[in-house]
Structure 1
Amino acid sequence: MKDKHGLLSAPVPQVMTKMAVPMAYGLLAVLGFSLVDTYFVSLLGTEALAAISFTFPVTFFVSALAMGLGTGLSACLARLLGQGQHQDAARLTSDGLLLALTSVLIVAIIGISTIQPLFRLLGATDTLMVYIQDYMFYWYIAIPFLVIPMVGNAAIRATGDTKTPSKVMIIAGFMNGLLDPLLIFGIGPFPELGVKGAAIASGLSWLITFSVAIYLLRSREKLLQFNKPNITNMLKNWRKIAAIGMPASLTNMLSPVNNAFVMWQLAAFSTTAVAAYGAGTRLEAILLIGMIAVSSMLAPFIAQNSSANNPQRCLTAIKLAIRYSLISQLSIYLIIALTAPYIATLFSDDAAVISHLSLYLYIIPASFAMQGTMMAIASSLNGLNRPIAALSLSMIRSLSIICLSSIGAYYYGEKGIFFGIASANVLVGLLALYYAQQLRIELQLEIDNQLRNESQLKLNSETPA
């Protein structure tokens, strides 16, 4: 059972590629999931689309919480698997899923009871509230089917298997695309449910991922126990998961805060700049998808190898991730810089939007190599059980974006905002490289100590009694 997927023994580049490529496909499916929902809801009209847009901060909050818990469980689980403690790993996984279920049920109960006051506080009108009420009620009912698979799939990835979770995400995305028009518009025998149909379609597709994740964890990986937990040990496991999961959740939540602040700044100049930035952030997820995939596999890989006392494999993985970020993102930027105006025309036929989006593409993606480096080092720090250091990188980036984009806006307008964001990415990338250097020194020290101990053991074995 130990090292079933080769995280501790197979060549590091081979393992990283084997884990990251399926992750990239799965992430593309998730992006498609969101785009399909948005497209079909947009066919209901501007009010329905605006109403769904109001729900994004809430749905992102829940997703960020789930991703954070998944990161915490994955890192803790990988360490136990690296030490060969499969029974303890199964108990940790079971307790982790129970923590996720408890958290999401609390969120759902509070969410259902606060739909009206919360979204009115966000500025929703009476007309939009009708759509929001319909959508969010069913969305809250369905979120256990979203959160449990997200956390469960993170546990599966901790074993080294990224193919299965990715296949499940792709199937779920396909089912969502199939069910959306049937339930939204009432095609054939299906009822016409409007926006609530979109929420129900999402819930049914999530149910597939829920069922598969539970089956795999229970039957294939033997990482799920249904016996009554020991409360003391369960709370201990919850604290271990939360120690990494909560900082990771906060890290995920910083991104929409940054985007909201930049949108607010751009709105003071023109709506076309806001539209261009919105399109640019959607492109950003695609341009960085390779680094997102690498970062997602890096934490469990490093956690397993660190626990198995394999510092050389940890160091090799970190070096490869940085190298990949610098080479791949700079190569992508060269393509983007040559084709920016043509890409911009795919998103709008408004000359002002095209101009702003082209400017965005010329400036911000140039910093993605450093942003990717930051993502890789933050993930590595989580794998080494240093979540606060990982969170500090994201917080510094967030504060830098706020400060530098504000300075840029004051002196150079929209262009200054874009340069401020890029400068913040470069700044935090350089800081991440400093962290990487410190990790290199620490890991190299461990490697040197291992070599000395091995040499001493060999010398002792060769010395006559």
Structure 2
Amino acid sequence: MAPSRDLLTPPVYKVLSRLTLPMILGIIAVLSVSLIDTYFVSQLGTDYLAALSFSFPVTMSISSLAIGLGVGAASAVSRAVGANNKEQAKRLSTDSLLLGITVVMVVAVVGYIYVKPLLSVLGAKGDVLELGARYMRIWFISVPFLVVPMIANALVRCVGDAFWPSLMMIGSALVNIVATPILIFGWGVIPAFDIEGAAYGTLFAQILTLFASLAILIIREKLLSFHLPSKEQLLESWRYLLSIAVPASAGNMVNPLSIAIVTAIVAWFGEKSVAAFGLATRVEFFAVIPMLALSSAIGPLAGQNWGAGQTHRITEGLKISYWVCVAWAILLSVFLWFFGPFIVAGFTDDNEVSQLALIYLRIIPMSVWGYGIVIVAAAAFNAIGKAKMGLGYYVVRSALFYVPLSWVGALYAKADYVFVGIALANVISGILVAWYSLRYLKQLKLIPN
């Protein structure tokens, strides 16, 4: 293994820095696409912004499915790399892509057919429902081109290379950012596609990323096998991958599904509240980038060191990551307290939407360290093959605290109290997950090999 990719011997903080910093840029690029879409769609009107807000939980759920499939693949492959089993790593990489393609085609077809009932369940009605359906039909066509690059990039990261996945993410985002306003409003001979233009921009960027990511996986990393396995070998490999991917996918889907439920709760207070909630959550996702990057970095570190039998390095990595989450939450709170009004003003001129979004951005950041701890711990446990525990961490936050406390807040008949419930959920779940995850790894040291 090249020294620049060694995850087993350098100081843990150096490994985390090397894997995290490129991913910060990559995730900034990816999340900026969501912000750019929100900005330009918001110029079309409040109904358009509300339609995009209703679509957000759906797009996040399916993206989380793709992430989960990538997590399952990276978990299995990273442990094979840590154990120095190169042939198994190659076989599992290939089979994981075949599995991802199979799953995503089914999801794309079903989603395209049932897009209106899906948005209706979330509370979309009338013109907002029609606008959301127009956007989502194009988005579902792009789903196959979304999933394969996500799995491919996860495989590249798990062998210790965060540079190329980050570069792919940045390239895709730049294409999307340039194409989206042109396709929404039109330019020269290119007609205006209205809200569908945002989805077409995503589709175009993802097609380019698909070919680029496969080229890196095949030519540079040599992680794909062109030898077809027997039916029995393929099914056995899929069973192994699914034992990790299914709970990992479920874990990644818990958060957007809980956001969908809370979106429906916020809808009790009107479409302007939904627009404000959707705007604020998009800004929030952009603001927690360092913690998302940490969660992508802890996986390769944990997986390879688990395969090499070095549990103590995983514990050290988690402790460092948890403290980084706390430090970032403090900086984020200060920044959004002062600059939140300027950020919100760039997305809407509706005073009611602005005020609600600003309240969210002044309450939630003080608690995001708890959310960061949950996603980092889940990523680490997914990587070591304990995906059911990773799922459990998400369930603790979302099912036990996030949704129930949001509902309790809504009983006060004011959206502000929903936001307070979300903050409490982050704090309580963060404390519980940090304590239990470190306690579990400490106990493993006491078990004789």
Tell me if TM exceeds 0.5: yes
Cα RMSD after superposing both structures:
3.0
Residues 16-415 of structure 1: pairs in structure 2 closer than 5 A: 16-42=16-42, 52-115=52-115, 118=118, 135-190=135-190, 193-269=193-269, 273-337=273-337, 345=345, 352-398=352-398, 399-410=400-411, 413-415=414-416
Residues 131-179 of structure 1, C-alpha deviation per residue, up to 9 Å, x if partnerless? Answer: 6666545433332211100111111110111111111111111112223
Equivalents in 2 of 1:391, 1:179: separation in Å?
A: 36
Segment of structure 1 superposing worse, 48-57 or 307-316: 48-57
Equivalents in 1 of 2:130, 2:420: separation in Å?
A: 40
Equivalents in 2 of 1:192, 1:361: separation in Å?
A: 33
Change (3 A) 1:142 1:401: closer
What residue in structure 2 maps to residue 458 of structure 1?
none
Residues 7-33 of structure 1, C-alpha deviation per residue, up to 9 Å, x if partnerless? Answer: 112221111111111111111111122
Count of aligned residue pairs for this structure pair: 448
Q: Which amino acid aligns with 2:361?
A: L
Equivalents in 2 of 1:240, 1:255: separation in Å?
A: 25
What residue in structure 1 maps to residue 420 of structure 2?
419
Q: Report the alpha carbon displacement of residue 353 of structure 1 after superposing the two structures with TM.
A: 4.6
Change (3 A) 1:92 1:116: same
* TM-score, length basis structure 2: 0.88
Contact 2:58 2:256 in 1 (8 A): no
Contact 2:71 2:383 in 1 (8 A): no
What residue in structure 2 maps to residue 456 of structure 1?
none
Q: Report the alpha carbon displacement of residue 326 of structure 1 after superposing the two structures with TM.
A: 1.8
Contact 1:312 1:443 in 2 (8 A): no
Segment of structure 1 superposing worse, 377-386 or 264-273: 264-273
Equivalents in 2 of 1:59, 1:243: separation in Å?
A: 24
Residues 68-101 of structure 1, C-alpha deviation per residue, up to 9 Å, x if partnerless? Answer: 1011111111000111111111110100000000
Q: Report the alpha carbon displacement of residue 221 of structure 1 after superposing the two structures with TM.
A: 0.8
Contact 2:184 2:192 in 1 (8 A): yes
Change (3 A) 1:350 1:53: closer
Matched-pair identity in %: 37
| 1:175 aligned counterpart, secondary structure | helix
Change (3 A) 1:340 1:5: same
Q: Which amino acid aligns with 1:427?
A: I
Q: Report the alpha carbon displacement of residue 435 of structure 1 after superposing the two structures with TM.
A: 1.4
What residue in structure 2 maps to residue 463 of structure 1?
none
What residue in structure 2 maps to residue 12 of structure 1?
12
Change (3 A) 1:375 1:408: same
Equivalents in 1 of 2:128, 2:184: separation in Å?
A: 17
Q: Which amino acid aligns with 1:367?
A: S
What residue in structure 2 maps to residue 445 of structure 1?
446
Q: Report the alpha carbon displacement of residue 61 of structure 1 after superposing the two structures with TM.
A: 2.9
Q: Structure 2: state its 5+ residue gaps.
A: none
| 2:5 aligned counterpart, secondary structure | coil
Q: Structure 1: state its 5+ residue gaps.
A: 451-465
Report which of the two structures shows the higher radius of gyration computed on alpha carbons. 1
Contact 2:62 2:253 in 1 (8 A): no
Contact 1:329 1:369 in 2 (8 A): yes
Equivalents in 2 of 1:222, 1:208: separation in Å?
A: 20
| 1:304 aligned counterpart, secondary structure | helix
Equivalents in 2 of 1:61, 1:354: separation in Å?
A: 26
* TM-score, length basis structure 1: 0.86
Segment of structure 1 superposing worse, 415-424 or 41-50: 41-50
Q: Report the alpha carbon displacement of residue 207 of structure 1 after superposing the two structures with TM.
A: 1.6
Change (3 A) 1:53 1:430: closer
| 2:446 aligned counterpart, secondary structure | helix
Change (3 A) 1:124 1:352: closer
